[in-house]
Amino acid sequence: MKNQRIKPVLIFAIFLAIISNIYAKTIIESISLSNIKDTTLMILEVDTMTKMTFNRISKTNLQLTISARSAVNEIKPLGVIKKIVINGDSTQTGFNITFNKPFDFRKQTINSNIVLKFFPLPVKVIKTVILDPGHGGVDPGAVGRKHLQEKEVNLGIAKALKKKLENFGLKVILTRSDDRFVALSERTRFTNEQKADLFISIHCNSSNDSRKANGFETYFLSEAKTDWERAVLARENGSLQYETGDVDSLTQNDISLILADLSQNENLKESYALALEIQTAGVDILKDVDRGVKQAGFYVLRTSFMPSVLVECGFLSNSAEEKKLNTGKYRESIAQAIFLGVTNYIRDYEKRTNL
């Protein structure tokens, strides 16, 4: 009878010992923070290997859960870590970590210790802009009734815009700086080699159907959906007729075209945002007819792998607009409009992407 009483007590004692032993092996004994340059190390000393899960709440907030009790209930933030809130129970510990800027991290296990390396994401900034004055050399582009050639107007606007963007602090590169022919394939190849952040092609419009057509319009890459968009596309891509040798393989290989389209899809949203800012500023400053933001598959846009737009600054086929486009003052106004559109876009982009 006595032995029967002892047995349940012994079993219960053994059970408690087992549970205690399990808990003893899953304790976070210490937590330390240290900095190495811009990286903050968080070291958790744990008795034994344990499960850990991560949940990114936002660009600056991380929820970390460890299957272990913590002997530490509070820790002072350091480096990229702005705040740490620790809470948990006998089976797990949660860490809600807030960072002072967008972050990324790496996890490393050394013996049973957990090392977390937190570091700020690189700040996304726009540094380099390619300006592409359309046509040039043997390719005059559109020609006005008074014989003003588009290639001349495009270059004048591009040079004025270059100065303004450089004063803003940007690196600006022209695809041509004088009256020479540069193949469309060479323009885009050069642009991609420069690893530019933005590409802006500058052109003037023309209409065979109406001498009264006028206004300012901005294009981004997409399929031309209207007869007018297809007409502009055909005219601006017409420069291909002046090229000798093989046109860039991107226009010849179906697989390359698919890969190019996939790459451009990443920039489509940003290209539209850039086009919208330029169009808004253009109409506001020039007080011109708003022909809107449009879309077409221009060669120079299709093969430039960055946010890219093509600006049609006015109609050389319209006598009144040809007269304005022939003056340095009006070209300066166009450059100022594009400048404001670009800089408004840059401010918005850097604010959005670095939150």
For the stretch 281-290, pLDDT in tens is 999 999 999 9
| 301 token code pair | 């846009």
Rounded mean pLDDT of 229-254? 49
- Report whether pLDDT(302) > 60: yes
d(CA 231, CA 150): 17
Q: Is the pLDDT of residue 194 over 50?
A: yes
277 has pLDDT over 60: yes
Instruction: For residues 216-242, give the mean pLDDT.
Output: 60
In this prediction, residue 301 carries a pLDDT of 58
Could you tell me the residue ranges of all domains in the chain?
A: 28-120, 128-353
Mean pLDDT, residues 150-175: 97
- Give the pLDDT confidence score for residue 355 in this predicted structure: 61
Whether 25 and 50 have beta carbons less than 8 Å apart is answered as no
Indicate whether 86 pLDDT > 70: yes
Query: How far is Cα 270 from Cα 264, in angstroms, rounded to an integer?
Result: 10
The confidence score (pLDDT) of residue 255 equals 39
User: Using an 8 Å Cβ cutoff, are 134 and 236 in contact?
Assistant: yes
pLDDT at 251 over 50: no
**DSSP per-residue letters across 157-215:** HHHHHHHHHHHTT-EEEES-SSS----HHHHHHHHHHTT-SEEEEEEEE--SS-TT---
Higher pLDDT, 3 or 185: 185
Average pLDDT, the chain: 83
**CATH placement of domain 28-120:** 2.60.40.3470
Mean pLDDT of all residues in 34-50 = 88
pLDDT at 258: 41
Nearest to 86 by CA among 72, 98, 99, 100: 72
Three-state secondary structure of 6-64 = HHHHHHHHHHHHHHHHHHHCCEEEEEEEEEECCEEEEEEEECCCCCEEEEEEECCEEEE
pLDDT surpasses 90 at 295: no
Q: What is the pLDDT of residue 13?
A: 55
> Measured between alpha carbons, how far is 183 from 199 in angstroms, rounded to an integer?
16
- Per cent of the chain over pLDDT 90 is 53
Which CATH class name applies to 128-353?
alpha beta
Burial class (CB in 10 A: 0-12, 13-18, 19+), 103: buried
Q: Is the pLDDT of residue 2 over 80?
A: no
Question: 339 has which bridge partners?
Answer: none
| Furthest-apart CA atoms within the chain: distance in Å | 122
Which pair of tokens denotes residue 76? 């002072």
Cβ neighbours of residue 273 closer than 8 Å, sequence gap 6 or more: 307, 345, 348, 349
Angle between helices 254-286 and 328-353 (to 10 degrees): 120
Lowest mean pLDDT among 27-36, 302-311, 313-322: 302-311
**Would you tell me the crossing angle of helices 328-353 and 150-167 to the nearest 10 degrees?**
50
Q: Can you give the pLDDT at residue 199? A: 92
| Structure token digits, residue 13 | 């004692």
**Which residues is 105 bridged to in the sheet?**
118
The rounded distance, in Å, linking the Cα atoms of 134 and 140 is 9
Position 84 pLDDT exceeds 90: yes
Q: What are the helix (H) ranges across 194-306? A: 227-236, 254-286, 299-302
Higher pLDDT, 257 or 99: 99
Band (91; pLDDT cuts 50, 70, 90): confident
Dihedral sign for Cα 293, 294, 299, 305, please: positive
